[in-house]
């Protein structure tokens, strides 16, 4: 996987991240979603690396990165804490300012990085997600039916027991799009009890501390200062849930563009060439 990329484990102040990085040019950080690892970018990263320095970590708690200590308020799994990891990681690699792309749960970390560290983020791309507080404010029976896992994962103990009883059945997935090596990396993650617990903790943080951070930003009128690209999968739920996806993002941004890709949720695996082309166009605009 990731021919020409270097694989490292980089120790930060509060986490140790497994990271692949390669290429040359303006830096871009790629953040995966649940339940993936950095290997979800296996087809996209080499395309971007023809023009950019590309950094792909396992987020704190995911894959082979370190797991945060449990806390009653789940702050170790907050998107604010993970955004700090990202900025520290990029600084360790020599990048004071960089673009960030986040998919799914990674989009929340990317948004938090742009809001909390505007001096570090040059461009923001969010893939298949809306801000957590916006999703919860719009929660109705359709959302609760389709995204019931948000609320199930908030329960103590039971989600981990259910997932680990048969992780392959719970999460599905196949090597058809990912390739054998990336799929093996994904399976290693979902079969590890510590990783499953930390991934679920990410959701527990979402319903509490992350939502509180979002709502504080809204009250203060904070917006993303840099250009923002929003892409969503036409075969996933965002259009059905929200209709005007860009309209949901508009109050959070000052310079917004975007649209849909005709694919399912894991767009980096299903439409890597199209996604890379859209990202490259945005990054050089």
**Rounded mean pLDDT, 108-115:** 98
Which of 116, 111, 147 has its CA nearest to residue 126? 111
Domains within the chain, CATH numbers bracketed: 6-284 (3.40.50.1820)
Compute the average pLDDT of residues 242-269. Answer: 97
pLDDT at 199: 98
Please name the residues in contact with 220: beta carbons below 8 A apart, sequence gap of 6 or more: none
71: tokens are 């806390």
Question: Does position 77 have pLDDT exceeding 90, yes or no?
Answer: yes
Tell me the backbone φ, ψ of residue 192, rounded to 5 degrees: -95, 115
Q: First-to-last CA distance in the chain?
A: 29
Average confidence (pLDDT) over 149-169: 97
| pLDDT computed for residue 285 by the predictor | 84
Catalytically active residues are 104, 265
Instruction: Give tens-digit pLDDT for 191-248.
Output: 999 999 999 999 999 999 999 999 999 999 999 999 999 999 999 999 999 999 999 9
pLDDT, mean over the chain: 97
Mean pLDDT value across residues 238-262: 97
Q: How much is the pLDDT for 135?
A: 97
What pLDDT does 178 receive? 93
Query: What's the pLDDT score for residue 97?
Result: 98
Query: How large a percentage of the chain has pLDDT more than 90?
Result: 99
Q: In the prediction, which pLDDT does 103 show?
A: 98
Does the pLDDT value for residue 40 go beyond 90?
yes
Answer for the pair 82, 108: CB distance below 8 angstroms, yes or no.
Answer: no
């Amino acid at each position: 996987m990731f021919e020409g990329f270097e694989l490292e484990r980089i120790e930060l102040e509060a986490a140790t991240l497994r990271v692949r990085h390669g290429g040359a040019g303006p830096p871009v950080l790629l953040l995966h979603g649940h339940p993936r690892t950095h290997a979800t970018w296996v087809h996209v990263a080499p395309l971007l690396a023809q023009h950019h320095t590309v950094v792909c970590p396992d987020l704190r708690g995911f894959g082979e990165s370190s797991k945060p200590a449990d806390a009653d308020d789940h702050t170790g799994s907050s998107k604010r804490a993970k955004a700090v990891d990202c900025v520290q990681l990029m600084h360790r690699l020599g990048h004071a300012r960089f673009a960030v792309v986040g998919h799914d749960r990674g989009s929340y970390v990317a948004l938090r990085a742009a809001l909390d560290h505007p001096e570090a983020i040059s461009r923001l791309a969010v893939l298949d997600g809306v801000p957590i507080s916006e999703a919860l404010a719009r929660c109705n029976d359709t959302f609760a039916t389709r995204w019931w896992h948000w609320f199930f994962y908030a329960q103590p103990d039971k989600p981990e027991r259910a997932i680990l009883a048969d992780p392959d059945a719970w999460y599905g997935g196949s090597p058809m799009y990912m390739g054998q090596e990336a799929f093996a990396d994904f399976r290693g993650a979902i079969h590890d009890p510590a990783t499953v617990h930390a991934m679920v903790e990410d959701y527990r943080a979402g319903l509490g501390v992350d939502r509180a951070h979002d709502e504080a930003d809204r009250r203060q009128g904070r917006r993303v200062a840099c250009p923002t690209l929003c892409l969503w999968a036409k075969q996933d739920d965002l259009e059905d849930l929200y209709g005007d996806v860009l309209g949901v993002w508009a109050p959070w941004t000052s310079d917004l563009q975007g649209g849909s890709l005709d694919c399912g949720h894991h767009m980096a695996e299903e439409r890597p060439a199209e996604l890379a082309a859209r990202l490259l166009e945005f990054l050089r605009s």
